[in-house]
Amino acid sequence: MALAQALLRHLEAPPGPLVLHAHDPFTACAALETGKFPLVVTIHGPAHREFLMDYGHQELSDWVRSLEERAYREARMVLAVDEGQKQYVLEEFSLPEEKVAVVPNAVHRESLLKQAGVWARHPLAESLEKTLHQGKRVILLPRRLVAKNGVHQALEALPLLPPEYTFWVAGDGPLRGEIETRLRELGLGPRVRLLGEQPRGVVLALMQRAWAVLVPSIPSQGVVEATSIAALEAMALGTPVVASDLGGLREMIRPGENGLLFPPGEAKAMAEALMRLEDKGLRQILVQGGLRYVEEAWGVRQWGETILAFYQKALGEG
């Protein structure tokens, strides 16, 4: 936060109206310290709860909450990425409802395709293609290994799937040791690849080639999945999405049209949803529905127009 403050102090405002749009409470509070810019804040999740979930440190969580409270109270507009985040900020910080609006995340399909193409010959991407050619079903989980992302729960579904199904996990985190232990207990080592943290372009290249993208989120310590960028990126890249029926995922996925949903944490339902993708007709419907949905509802053009309108409102021009 200190670095952000230093940078913002030296930032000179150009002629004309200016708004600073922060996407986390740290940058937001750094901006407030300078007193130079009207502030708009986007809330992607309950930051203090996420810190408690990740680190188990109550004092740190309390400090982050104090930053959230200041940022949201002093911002001119608060933009939530889904209805769940809107309710969180209204209830947790008692903000007036007219100050909070829902503006979903957005993706730019052409940019994603370009990045995936640049990394197409990465060894992991080539290995995934080779695995698919061997008749395997590679399910990609682009997930940090934290409780709310549900990777540890997803492992329970794998024994219920045919042996050609494999899970590739792109991400790392504090639950890695627990997940490795559970893999040994279940005897699933050969069917799961823990890839660790990977460059964004590599993840996109894997996502584009995977049989499906799985987002097995579960509620954890008051944290519920928002509108998953990974799910949107998979849709934009033409890969079927199978996800938990909760939070922002429920708001963005229309079952049978642009993805499939299953009850959070239910291994049998998760396995059954993945098996439905063997239906070629359904796969095609989901792929086309996902592409259409991203273009019509979650594209950057619509997002940009909406954001500009809220900037004007924050400046008192709307």
Q: Which residues of 197-209 are buried (b: 16+ CB within 10 A; e: fewer)?
A: ebeebbbbbbbbb
For residue 301, what pLDDT is reported? 82
Q: First and final CA of the chain: distance in angstroms? A: 31
For residue 316, what pLDDT is reported? 83
Of 222, 220, 217, which is closest to residue 249 (Cα–Cα)?
Answer: 217
Model confidence band, residue 72 (pLDDT cutoffs 50, 70, 90): very high
For residue 13, what pLDDT is reported? 53
Residue 26 CB neighbour total at 10 angstroms: 19
Residue type, 108: H
> Each residue of 99-112: pLDDT tens digit?
999 998 889 999 99
Q: CA–CA separation, 12 vs 39, rounded Å?
A: 15
For residue 286, what pLDDT is reported? 98
Whether the pLDDT of residue 12 is over 60: the answer is no
Q: What is the mean pLDDT of residues 248-258?
A: 95
Model confidence band, residue 35 (pLDDT cutoffs 50, 70, 90): confident
On whether the CB atoms of residues 225 and 249 are closer than 8 A, the answer is yes
Helix axes 200-209, 123-133, angle to 10 degrees: 10
Q: CA–CA separation, 135 vs 304, rounded Å?
A: 42
Q: CA–CA separation, 11 vs 17, rounded Å?
A: 14
Model confidence band, residue 14 (pLDDT cutoffs 50, 70, 90): low
Q: CA–CA separation, 316 vs 76, rounded Å?
A: 9
Model confidence band, residue 15 (pLDDT cutoffs 50, 70, 90): low
Structure tokens at 198: 């990977």
Whether the pLDDT of residue 17 is over 70: the answer is no
CA distances from 176 to 67, 151, 157, 197, 205 (A): 29, 10, 18, 12, 23
CA distances from 278 to 166, 240, 274 (A): 15, 11, 8
φ, ψ at 95 (rounded to 5°): -80, 155
On whether the CB atoms of residues 228 and 243 are closer than 8 A, the answer is yes
Give the residue with greater pLDDT, 226 vs 149: 149
Model confidence band, residue 43 (pLDDT cutoffs 50, 70, 90): very high
Q: CA–CA separation, 300 vs 313, rounded Å?
A: 20
Whether the pLDDT of residue 16 is over 60: the answer is no
Model confidence band, residue 287 (pLDDT cutoffs 50, 70, 90): very high
State the Cα angle at 253 between 229 and 213, rounded to 5°. 55
For residue 318, what pLDDT is reported? 55
CA 110 to chain centre: 19
Burial class (CB in 10 A: 0-12, 13-18, 19+), 2: exposed
For residue 125, what pLDDT is reported? 98
Provide the 8-state DSSP code for 94. -
Whether the pLDDT of residue 88 is over 90: the answer is yes
On whether the CB atoms of residues 310 and 101 are closer than 8 A, the answer is yes
Of 68, 67, 5, 80, which is closest to residue 37 (Cα–Cα)?
Answer: 5
% residues pLDDT > 90 (the chain): 81
**If DSSP states are collapsed to H, E and C, what string results for 265-297?**
CCHHHHHHHHHHHHCHHHHHHHHHHHHHHHHHH
CA 112 to chain centre: 15
- Collapsing DSSP states into helix, strand and coil, what is residue 207? helix
For each of the domains in the chain, give its residue range(s) and CATH number, in order of start. 2-106+299-314 (3.40.50.2000), 109-297 (3.40.50.2000)
What pTM does this model have? Answer: 0.90
Radius of gyration of the chain (CA): 21
Mean pLDDT of the chain: 92
> Each residue of 133-188: pLDDT tens digit?
999 999 999 999 999 999 999 999 999 999 999 999 999 999 999 999 999 999 99
For residue 73, what pLDDT is reported? 96
